Amino acid sequence: MKTGSVNNSNSSIMDMFEQGKVLKICAPMVRYSKLAFRSLVRKYNCDICFTPMIVATDFLRSVKARDSEFTTNERDRPLIVQFAAHDAQTLADAACVVAPFSDGVDLNCGCPQRWAMSSGYGACLINKPELVKDMVRHVRNQVDNPNYTASIKIRIHKDLRRTVDLCQKAESAGVSWITVHGRTAEERHQPVHYDAIKTIKDSVSVPVIANGDIKYLRDVESTHQLTGVDGVMAARGLLANPAMFAGYEDTPLQCIWDWVDISVEQGTPFTCFHHHLIYMLERVTSQPERKVFNSLSSTSSVIEYLQNTYGTVQDIET
């Protein structure tokens, strides 16, 4: 693990929910919601960030896994570490390892990928409410910081009564909040079931976060109006525009250069650095431009291309 300072804070993410504003959250994204990207979205009104999903057993077993999967620093807060687990003690042990360097852990109960489901992780857990309840309780009982949160991120069932039952069981075990991706495990790009999210919000007293199809700042407010949720979580919308939560329609030039600066400072591997820029520029570039940009193969060639094509922020200001 590569970490900054230890968390000695008496404050809790739960205090943020008390303030009454709709929280804006960066989703856990495999390969993408790492420290550099979290550092970027925090500059643009993102309230809470998640790490990518980490398999708890690998994390506990391997120093190499810990070093590659969990990197943070003292400015990377509030931070939620998301784990894939199917055993209560394993999740609690992993939570105890990261607790000094984060504000909470989240149990992934929503990943629909085949490898996760076949290993007993992710969305298959929505069909095991007693196990989820046990896992939440173990984290609650074994992390000695009372402000440390234990949350879950779920998908919905076709029969919504089962989802409500799952959420109420998790609440009874002390879950801090629940993020609901408003699709079933089988659905990919179908419309989000906002009515289902609202039903869940109305069925529990803990905060509920809505996830799915948040692409612009206006979607935050419309989702809140439709569902009454306490926060929204974005994934692809933030990849396309990391400044989305600050109200920008498309990625501003300042944000692109912020990403370059952060990546160079933190030593972000080229593939990750380049992929994020491909996402950020997708909506504002033509097909021929994308073809040229996507073929670039070094950080220096990318920086040169950006300077020649868009100029620097200073150029715009003068």
Between the two ends of the chain, the Cα-to-Cα distance in Å is: 43
What is the number of other CB atoms lying within 10 angstroms of the CB of residue 265?
A: 10
Model confidence, pTM? 0.95
Structural domains of the chain ordered from first start: 11-244 (3.20.20.70), 251-313 (no CATH)
Is 242 annotated as ligand-binding?
A: no
Q: Which of 26, 109, 111, 167 is catalytic?
A: 111
**Distance (Å, whole) CA 115 – CA 104:** 25
- Which residue's structure tokens are 């926060």? 231
Could you tell me if 122 and 108 are in contact, meaning their C-beta atoms sit under 8 angstroms apart?
Answer: yes
Q: Each residue of 34-67: pLDDT tens digit?
A: 999 999 999 999 999 999 999 999 999 999 889 8
Would you say 181 is a known binding-site residue?
yes
pLDDT reported for residue 9: 52
Q: Is 232 among the annotated ligand-binding positions?
A: no
* Residue 183 assigned as binding residue: no
Q: What is the pLDDT of residues 226-252, one digit of tens each?
A: 999 999 999 999 999 999 999 999 999
pLDDT tens for 185-205 read 999 889 999 999 999 999 999
Q: Is 111 a catalytic residue?
A: yes
